[in-house]
């Protein structure tokens, strides 16, 4: 028998338009009704399927790279940034999934919440963008592109949506993950303690570069955000204000030019100077 999570059955919750797994008591992130479920433009999940119904050859954490993490239709960039940061470290997420059985579709995760490790056991049912199998197979080529929420760039990997689902269950529902801070997502996955700093408070930028950020994804995990206090929401030089980024790698050129590689969970790469595929 396949495992069906009695405390978080996405299929039942969506078909009966309850939305208990999606929305919280205080936050209604998704409007579920017969109209929105039939409206192709409405930003709500249209179906729920098991992993083996979505992927032809699914894999779980065979390739768990931070650069593969893509955010979905949920505004949970803080949690996604934490997931990305831990995945950018070798075996950084291995201990969070303590056991799983892909044959029956059961996954056991541990999340650090309110000062202690708690468990979150889920089945492998996931939200999709399109209502019918033949539609999403043609439109989204199956695999990760079919997902409504977070997914991996690797079209066979399932770890990203399953981690997000376990995280949502640990916090009550998907809507409870919206907003938040990068440090919160990182602490919940690592059990560590984070600190926030403003770049304007750094006294010696050279020392900060050499002693701190140079160790990104080695001794330290770094997230970054901008525009929260001064600029509001918008975009400057390709950087979206109010969005959560992760420092993936830093490098100093022979010329002394310093480069910081950031991960944006929307799946976009920088264009222009220092962008992907550019000569610099």
| pLDDT at 56 (0 to 100) | 85
Whose tokens are 């010329």? That residue is 255
Q: What is the mean pLDDT of residues 161-184?
A: 93
| pLDDT at 275 (0 to 100) | 63
Residues 6+ apart with CB under 8 A from 157: 58, 59, 60, 61, 62, 63, 64, 68, 144
| pLDDT at 144 (0 to 100) | 76
Count of structural domains, the chain:
1
Residue 260 domain flag: no
Whether the pLDDT of residue 61 is over 80: the answer is yes
Query: For residue range 26-36, what is the model confidence (pLDDT) as tens digits?
Result: 878 899 988 89
Select from 257, 260, 186 the least CA-distant residue to 220.
186
With helix as H, strand as E and coil as C, how does the chain read?
CCCCCCCCCHHHHHHCCCCCCCCCCCCCCCCCCHHHHHCCCCCCCCEEEEHHHHCCCCECCCCCCHHHEECCCCCCHHHHHHHHHHHCCCCCCHHHEEEEECCCCEEEEEEEECCEEEEEEEECEEEECCCCHHHHHHHHCCHHHHECCCEECCCCECHHHHHHHHHHHHCCCCHHHCCCCHHHHHHHHHCCCCCCCCHHHCCCHHHHHHHCHHHECCCECCEECCCCCCCCCCEECCEECCCCEEEEEEEECCCCCEEEEEEECCCCCCCCCCCCCCCC
Q: How far apart are CA 2 and CA 124, in angstroms?
A: 9
**Residues annotated as part of the active site:** 77, 243
Query: For residue range 101-118, what is the model confidence (pLDDT) as tens digits?
Result: 999 999 999 999 999 999
| pLDDT at 212 (0 to 100) | 92
Residue 141 domain flag: yes
Supply 195's token pair.
Answer: 């600190």
Q: Which domain holds residue 113?
A: 10-79+90-179
Residue 222 domain flag: no
Q: How far apart are CA 106 and CA 97, in angstroms?
A: 11
Residue 103 domain flag: yes
Residue 95 domain flag: yes
Residue 168 domain flag: yes
Q: What is the mean pLDDT of residues 56-67?
A: 91
Residue 263 domain flag: no
Question: Do the bridges between strand 69-70 and strand 47-50 make them parallel or antiparallel, or are there none, so unpaired?
Answer: unpaired
Supply 197's token pair.
Answer: 């700093």
Q: What is the mean pLDDT of residues 183-209?
A: 94
Residue 159 domain flag: yes
- Name the pLDDT band for 141 (thresholds 50, 70, 90): very low
| pLDDT at 222 (0 to 100) | 93
Whether the pLDDT of residue 258 is over 80: the answer is yes
Query: For residue range 15-60, what is the model confidence (pLDDT) as tens digits?
Result: 998 999 999 888 788 999 888 988 888 999 999 999 999 888 899 9
| pLDDT at 266 (0 to 100) | 82
What pTM did the predictor assign? 0.89
């Amino acid at each position: 028998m396949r495992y069906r999570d009695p405390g978080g059955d996405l299929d039942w919750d969506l078909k009966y338009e309850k939305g208990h797994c999606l929305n919280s008591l205080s936050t209604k992130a998704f409007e579920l009704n017969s109209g929105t479920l039939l409206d192709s433009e409405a930003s709500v999940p249209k179906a729920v399927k098991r992993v083996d119904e979505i992927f032809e050859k699914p894999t779980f954490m065979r390739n768990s790279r931070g650069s593969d993490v893509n955010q979905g239709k949920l505004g949970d960039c803080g949690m996604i940034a934490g997931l990305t940061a831990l995945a950018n470290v070798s075996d950084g997420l291995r201990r969070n999934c303590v056991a799983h059985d892909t044959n029956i579709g059961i996954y056991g995760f541990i999340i650090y919440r309110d000062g202690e490790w708690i468990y979150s056991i889920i089945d492998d049912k996931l939200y999709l963008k399109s209502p019918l199998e033949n539609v999403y197979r043609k439109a989204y080529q199956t695999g990760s592109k079919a997902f409504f929420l977070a997914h991996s760039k690797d079209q066979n990997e399932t770890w990203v949506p399953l981690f997000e689902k376990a995280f949502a269950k640990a916090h009550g529902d998907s809507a409870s993950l919206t907003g938040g801070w990068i440090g919160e997502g990182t602490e919940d996955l690592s059990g560590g303690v984070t600190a926030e700093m403003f770049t304007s408070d750094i006294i010696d930028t050279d020392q900060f570069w050499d002693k701190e950020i140079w160790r990104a994804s080695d001794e330290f995990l770094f997230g970054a955000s901008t525009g929260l206090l001064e600029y509001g929401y918008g975009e400057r030089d390709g950087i979206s204000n109010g969005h959560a980024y992760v420092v993936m790698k830093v490098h100093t050129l022979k010329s002394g030019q310093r480069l910081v590689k950031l991960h944006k969970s929307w799946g976009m790469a920088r264009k222009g100077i220092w962008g992907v595929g550019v000569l610099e």
